[in-house]
Structure 1
Amino acid sequence: MRLSEPAPAKLNLALHVRGTLPDGRHALETIFAFCTDGDRLDGEDSDKLSLDIVGPFADSLAADDQNLVLRAAHALADAANIEPKAALTLTKNLPIASGMGGGSADAAAALRLLTRLWNLNPSFAVDVAPKIGSDVPACLLSLSARGTESGDKLELVQDLAISGQAVLLVNPRVALSTRDVFATWDGIDRGPLGDWRRGRNDLALPARSLVPAIGDVLDWLKNRTGANLVRMSGSGATCFALFGNEAARDAAAAACPVEWWHLATDLR
């Protein structure tokens, strides 16, 4: 039996860093949204666990013990007390370390796919997800949600201004370490997150100090006709613009500088 699972690109429509939790993690308030496009994971029965990586960004990722797909597979098998056996193929369409939750989305896709392949209770995947990464629970749902605590306490969001929104993602082709960005954050709590439209990304300034090209991308997006909201996603370096219609988005995509990666897509 061969199965396939999408790993939709994640966006943080707003991301407020409020401080530090008792366990040392950063306290966050964020609105997660997911795109109709992203990576893809395929899998089938096998006598062992293996991972093949293909696609435009395959060379940027190793199929080793640090790979989140394999970590998710092992964690799910351990929770269910079974031996992990599956032949997995990850199509890596998204740049790595880009603020779109690519690794977390891939891990979540592995949890969903292997839950079906191994005929497991979905509760195993729900329990395992936060142990792999703070974005994995949101990516497991892949639905618009408000995240608090470290981003892993979720409340679904029903907002007609999100679903179906035309969006352009742009990355200057620079990988950016989440750890480095948080280490550069100034530690100032700039207030709670209310309406995401009037929110902010508190990691944008530290990310720009590490990768100045992020500022160039944001300035370019703000000058596109029809761009309603422009921000950086997550810890960067991917930025996005929401558009009122697909025509305006596609026109912006066609004008994107060739040295930057971009993806014209829609929000789920």
Structure 2
Amino acid sequence: MATRGNAGANVQSTALALIENACAKVNLTLRVVGRRVDGYHDLESVVAFADCADHLNLTPGSTLTLKTTGPLAPDCGETGDNLVFKAAQLLGERVPGLKLGDFTLDKVLPVAAGIGGGSADAAAALRLLARANGLALDDKRLIEVAKQTGADVPVCLSSGACVMTGVGETLLPLSLPKMPCVMVNPRIPVPTKDVFEALGLRHGELLVGVTDVIQATAWPGDGASIEEWVEALAAASNDLEAPAMRIQPVIGEVLSALNATNGAWLARMSGSGATCFAIFENTAEAQRASQKIQIEHPQWWVHAGVLS
């Protein structure tokens, strides 16, 4: 359990704690368009959010502290490296007199897992600080800090289904049906940097043709069914799946386990891995699939829920 704050300050706040959920982000598709000359990768991804989340509390005060609890707290690493702490510090540098406080992070999502756990935590911290300080969520300083904290933080700030492009800064809202799902992580971290290195793009190299870049994918509109969405998603892919599997072959085992369940319509890796997901026709099938995988692989992290 790690804490950090200003030396010599021990101010007890009587304010009520503010609470935010940091929902897991799932990349339903992920196309790597190319690598910029500055080294960043241009992406196009259909992003949904799951009903599993870390939980972040903030008791407003004059100092900044962070305490981690929960089943996966030991995986969080040094407090000073936590994105919650980083986001709060960066916002404090931009907003004079920013009211900070004591954060408590209940960590239940696996780390380095391709579901934006740390990014979702940072985004939740920014939402909490915005509430504590009367800042709008579209405040330019808040958006600036989100981008600087991490590529997935802007999309997690709004936590709504969208098409995410660029390096994560351009978001086009989507209307997704509630899709029953099972998410599985083998409890083996896969660093994003390693996966992009395994992809092997040179600076300035395009992975797709110019025509592909110009033509935008037409995704199903408002009111589309799960079947329509699965059909559209199946025609796309995750370009990071193959390089991630070369780094951690267990990802292939996770996908096989999901595909071996009854009723899995589409199984795919999220983000840079190693978390994979499957979409099901209904919640009963998703629950049965989840139970089957938990029995066969008790060491894996498994969640049955809904994407939307």
TM over 0.5, shorter chain: yes
SS state at 2:194 partner? helix
Q: Which has the larger radius of gyration?
A: 2
Match of 1:233 in 2: 270
Question: Secondary structure at the residue paired with 2:80?
Answer: coil
Count residues in correspondence: 265
Amino acid corresponding to residue 77 of structure 2 in structure 1: A
User: TM-score, normalised on structure 1?
Assistant: 0.94
The 1:63/1:85 distance shift into structure 2, 3 A limit, reads farther
Question: Deviation per CA, 1:29-61, whole angstroms, max 9, x where unpaired?
Answer: 111110122111011122311000011110011
1:14 to 12, 29, 42: 29
Residue correspondence of structure 1 range 251-262 to structure 2 within 5 A: 251-256=288-293, 257-262=297-302
Alignment of 1:119-268 (within 5 A): 119-122=134-137, 123=139, 124-159=141-176, 163-187=177-201, 189-190=207-208, 192=212, 194=217, 195-256=232-293, 257-268=297-308
Deviation at 1:81, TM superposition (A): 1.8
**Amino acid of the structure 2 residue aligned with 1:58:** A
CA contact (8 A) 2:269 2:276 kept: yes
2:75 paired with 1:66: no
Gaps of 5+ in 1: none
Provide the rounded CA distance (Å) in 2 between the counterparts of 1:46 and 1:84. Answer: 6
| Structure 1 residue aligned with 2:20 | 5
Q: Name the CA distance, whole Å, in 2 between partners of 1:3 and 1:100.
A: 24
How well do the aligned residues superpose, as a CA RMSD in angstroms? Answer: 1.5
Counterpart of 2:49, as a letter, is F
- TM-score (norm: length of structure 2): 0.82
Deviation at 1:28, TM superposition (A): 0.6
How far did 1:197 drift? 3.4
Summarize the Cα distance change of 1:190–1:172 in structure 2 as closer, same or farther, 3 Å threshold: farther
Q: Give the C-alpha shift of residue 261 in structure 1.
A: 1.0
Shift of 1:121: 3.4
Which 4+ runs in 1 deviate beyond 4 A?
Answer: 190-193
Task: In structure 2, list runs of 5 or more residues that go unmatched.
Answer: 1-15, 218-231
| Identical columns (%) | 40
Question: Which letter does structure 1 place at the counterpart of 2:164?
Answer: G
> Which of the residues 96, 100, 123 maps onto 1:85?
100
Q: 2:34·2:208 contact (CA, 8 Å) conserved in 1?
A: no
Q: Deviations over 1:84-105 (max 9, x none)?
A: 5211000110110000000000
* 2:99 and 2:132 in contact (8 A); partners too: no
Q: What's the counterpart of residue 71 of structure 2?
A: 56
Match of 2:12 in 1: none
Q: Indicate yes or no: 2:49 matched with 1:34.
A: yes
